[in-house]
Amino acid sequence: MQFKNKVAISTGAASGMGLLFSQCFAAEGGNVLLCDINEEALIEKTKEINEKGAGRAEYAVCDVRDYNQICAARDKCMQEFGRIDVLCNFAGGYEPRMCKVEPGIEFPDIPIEIFDWGLDVNLKGPFYFGHAVLGVMREQKTGLIVNLGSITGMEGSSVGMAYPTSKAGLMFGLTKSQAQYGAKYGIRSVCVSPGPVLTRPGMANMRTLLGRAADPQEIIDLILFIASDKGQFINGENIMIDGGRNAMTRG
């Protein structure tokens, strides 16, 4: 029960790694606010967590592109739990896939609105959420923000350029800046950047030095370590967890 009496906000929490983090954090005694745009799934998953009888879960319907909704989620977390110890920014996605762009289309031919979506969800969303919770963490004199980067932030993409642009911004700009600001208040910021993860079948075909993609639990276990008492000296860093993909020769 290493997170007993601790409180986390998890975005993109109706499914995938955002949900898995929420389940694991609550299983270790923590309380968690699940944030997502899918209210039906949020209701179901929040109920499932609460039925386990360890930590407590609540939810907030929240579009991370909307700062007012983010502030409402923050306020609900404070109303329900009285503090925010951890913010995990999982919400995101590769905009050509999420917005169903036709295969084979080239970057200049993709409507700019598709890239607006990618920049808003993948970069502005974590930026907005960090801005919204840092005041609370400052008052507490403690807190942790975990941003989710990606190997694509190191590699780039010739089509979905908003995704690597956003992830690189999280990995090197936002995380370091948050750590610099938060240091005097006991607030840490860390970016965790996965390589291929088996959150969807296509990831299994991406190359790594280990010859496989990660199980999602491997990513969450690293984040839980960073949030735990054992990970308190990790700050302002981008941690690659990519099976050695970034160490591979290009081409």
Beta bridge partners of 191: 147, 238
Distance CA 10, CA 91 (A): 8
Active-site annotation holder among 59, 94, 128, 163? 163
Enclosing H/E stretch for 241: strand 238-241
Q: What are phi and psi of 163, to 5 degrees?
A: -65, -55
Q: Are strands 187-194 and 238-241 parallel, antiparallel or unpaired?
A: parallel
> Is 128 one of the catalytic residues?
no
Q: How many CB atoms lie within 10 A of CB 178?
A: 28
Spatial neighbors of 1 by CB under 8 A, at least 6 apart, are 28, 29, 54
Q: Give the chain's count of helices (H) and strands (E).
A: 10, 7
The residues that are catalytic are: 163
